[in-house]
Amino acid sequence: MLLRRNQDVAELSSYLISKGFRVLGTSFLKLKESPLINSLICALKFFNYPEDEIALFGILNSGFIEKGEKILNDFLNFKLKKGEFNLVKFVKEYYPEIWQKNFEEPLQIFRFCALYDFCRYIINLWQIEEKRPQELVYLYKFLSFILQFSKETDDLEEFLEYWDKYFDEEIELPQDEKAIKVFTIHSAKGLEFKNVILPLDWSEKDYKSELGFVFYNGEIYKARKDRLPPEVKEQWYLNKFEIKLELLNLLYVAFTRAIENLYILIPEISENIKKDLNKYHKYQVIDIFNEIYSNLEVF
């Protein structure tokens, strides 16, 4: 199977493994490529230094905390109106119950708890295993590493320093000829396979934040082209062009990997969507494919 992003490969590989399939990815899965593990690292950074706004942002954006996305939305709107205001202070004042349950109480426990035990506590508190079953292979590998690291030192700051500078742990997958091979299109360059499955449910990168803001050169802008300064608007169009070119290049590579059979999975498009494909970025690549296919000569 050929997928567009490393994250897609990681998620699909984890899902297939959880269902009992034998999987061969790019021969490994990197812990640092897991959104779950990155969110846990944000949590550890925050509890190590409770004034770390970036780490708190990562926690609230992870899906672990109830109303996390709403809190971030409210904070950004509040900050635009009121100016200087700290995210930590905002959560404390405007969402005191969420702060108490998810941050204040864990901070008290953290002071008297071993690193591994504290990680297990956070996982249970935020119900991470239930919320991210497709990433359990990462979670258990991460916990195993923390347990090993704790035998040398139980200092969280040392662990975080090691993680940022040196850690590059990989989850080995079996070298099995009969296993399902899952690759990014980029990593499959130069390779050939007897049968290839290519899902074309790609999403074109939308050059704006999910929260409705554009961050450029240290400034925050409302994500509308007519409100962007000329230099930001120019960069916006350049990125749109690069995205279109990337789609065409990826299609070429993906279509030329199969020796015998290429299976292209295209989601069904409703009549309403067909009327205006430009409004539905996730179908952009399908539109390109259909245009290419319709111009092919049949021999």
Domain check: are 68 and 132 in the same one? yes
Any domain includes 185: no
**Where are the alpha helices (H) located in the chain, listed in sequence order?**
6-18, 35-48, 53-60, 68-82, 87-94, 96-99, 105-110, 115-125, 128-131, 136-150, 156-165, 230-255, 271-275, 284-294
Domain check: are 234 and 122 in the same one? no
Domain count, the chain: 2
Q: Could you list the residue range(s) of the whole structural domain that residue 238 is in?
A: 192-294
Domain check: are 168 and 196 in the same one? no
Any domain includes 48: yes
Domain check: are 200 and 164 in the same one? no
Domain check: are 83 and 138 in the same one? yes
Task: Quickly count: other Cβ atoms within 10 Å of residue 16's Cβ.
Answer: 18
Instruction: Check if the beta carbon of residue 248 is closer than 8 Å to that of residue 288.
Output: yes
Task: Quickly count: other Cβ atoms within 10 Å of residue 289's Cβ.
Answer: 20
Q: How far apart are CA 278 and CA 275, in angstroms?
A: 9
Average pLDDT, the chain: 79
pTM given for the model? 0.57
Pick the last residue of a domain from 139, 172, 205: 172
In this prediction, residue 83 carries a pLDDT of: 67
Average pLDDT on 150-163 reads: 90
Pick the last residue of a domain from 143, 172, 201: 172
Q: How far apart are CA 111 and CA 52, in angstroms?
A: 17
Comparing C-alpha atoms, which of 112, 116, 114, 120 is closest to residue 147?
Answer: 116
Domain check: are 166 and 57 in the same one? yes
Q: How far apart are CA 270 and CA 234, in angstroms?
A: 34
Any domain includes 182: no
| Residues with Cβ within 8 Å of residue 93, at least 6 apart in sequence | none
Q: Any idea what DSSP says for residue 298?
A: P
Q: What is the pLDDT of residues 21-36, one digit of tens each?
A: 777 765 456 777 788 8
Q: How far apart are CA 182 and CA 112, in angstroms?
A: 43
Domain check: are 57 and 168 in the same one? yes
Any domain includes 7: no
Any domain includes 41: yes
Domain check: are 114 and 197 in the same one? no
pLDDT score of 70 more than 90 = yes
In this prediction, residue 299 carries a pLDDT of: 36
Task: Give φ, ψ of 174 to 5 degrees.
Answer: -65, 140
The rounded radius of gyration (Å) of the Cα atoms in the chain is: 23
- 43 is written with which tokens? 């949590």
Q: What angle do CA 214, 216, 221 make, to 5 degrees?
A: 40
Pick the last residue of a domain from 172, 206, 222: 172
Length of the chain equals 299
Q: How far apart are CA 88 and CA 90, in angstroms?
A: 5
Average pLDDT on 288-296 reads: 58
Q: What is the pLDDT of residues 166-210, one digit of tens each?
A: 666 666 555 566 778 888 898 888 888 888 999 887 765 554 444
Instruction: Check if the beta carbon of residue 257 is closer than 8 Å to that of residue 194.
Output: no
Q: Which residue has the tokens 């245009």?
A: 291
pLDDT score of 288 more than 70 = no
Domain check: are 119 and 48 in the same one? yes
Any domain includes 186: no
Q: What is the pLDDT of residues 211-226, one digit of tens each?
A: 455 555 656 555 556 6
User: The CATH number of the domain where 134 resides is what?
Assistant: 1.10.486.10
Q: What is the pLDDT of residues 90-104, one digit of tens each?
A: 999 999 999 999 999
Domain check: are 156 and 41 in the same one? yes
Instruction: Check if the beta carbon of residue 58 is closer than 8 Å to that of residue 38.
Output: yes
Any domain includes 159: yes
Q: How far apart are CA 74 and CA 94, in angstroms?
A: 10
Comparing C-alpha atoms, which of 146, 118, 127, 135 is closest to residue 43?
Answer: 118
Instruction: Check if the beta carbon of residue 180 is closer than 8 Å to that of residue 192.
Output: no
Q: What is the pLDDT of residues 92-141, one digit of tens each?
A: 999 999 999 999 999 999 988 999 999 999 999 999 999 988 778 788 88
Any domain includes 155: yes
Domain check: are 35 and 132 in the same one? yes
| Residues with Cβ within 8 Å of residue 16, at least 6 apart in sequence | 23, 180, 182
pLDDT score of 73 more than 70 = yes
pLDDT score of 152 more than 80 = yes
In this prediction, residue 219 carries a pLDDT of: 60
Q: How confident is the model at residue 227 (pLDDT cuts 50, 70, 90)?
A: low
Domain check: are 164 and 203 in the same one? no
* Residue percentage of the chain with pLDDT more than 90: 33
